[in-house]
Structures are given as C-alpha cells and as structure tokens.
Amino acid sequence: MRILLDTQVFLWWARDDPQLPASARDAIRAAPEAFVSIVTAWEIAIKRAIGKLDMLPLSAELLDSHGFTLVPVTLEHAALSSELPLHHRDPFGRMLIAQARHEGLTLVTHDRRLFAYPIPIVRA
C-alpha cells in the first residue's frame, strides 16, 4: 500500500506525537512508499505565518529523514479537485483527495469529512 499523509498526520508523525494511532503509525512504517504533498508544506507555511503553528518550514531534508517523497501539484490534480463532490470545502483537503485518487495512493487522515470520498483511507 502506497500512502499519502495529510498535514495533521504528518505533524503527528514528525513530532512522534502519541495522538497518532498505532494502526496509522504501523501503516506508515509498513508502506513500501510514503508520500507528503507540497500542499502540506503550503499549509504548514500558512499556519506558521499566522501564528497557529510553531514548527520549522517543511524541507527536503526533513522529508528525506523520514523517508517521505514529495508529491507536487499537477494540472491533473487541479482539474480533478474541481470535479470532486463538496463533502469537504477546504482546498487543502480537496487537493489531497485529488492527489491520492490520481496517483493511486491511500490517504492517512484524521479528518472525518474526507472519509466520504471513494478512495482508500487509513483512519488516524
């Protein structure tokens, strides 16, 4: 199972936070490939700028140290995100769904609103 971490799951993972359920942690460890979206870097940067998050910016070194591969946003991802049902209005969440669907990834997320989309999900 190739997986994509959403922003909250990535933050829990990077901080070794006990809020990340063992089942999600095990799925991440067992995945032959694990991905983090550039959308996560963007969301972290915005939250840092408005004072909602105290963390260094997401860097290639940080991703590499955890064995994650960065997923860029493509035109196909953008087009697919506009076609999704409006179960979730957050543009970051919608893009993660589009990326997971287009790339054939399983999304690891704690956001219950994302569970409504027909993609494989590991609940965190």
Residue 46: predicted pLDDT: 93
Bridge partners for 123 per DSSP: 109
* pTM of the predicted structure, to 2 decimals: 0.94
Q: Which of 17, 59, 101, 91 is nearest to 9 (CA)?
A: 17
What are 34-52's pLDDT values in tens digits?
999 999 999 999 999 999 9
Q: How far apart are CA 47 and CA 24, in angstroms?
A: 24
What domains lie within the chain, and their CATH numbers? 3-123 (3.40.50.1010)
The low-confidence residues of the chain, meaning pLDDT below 50, are none
Residue 107: predicted pLDDT: 98
Residue 89: predicted pLDDT: 83
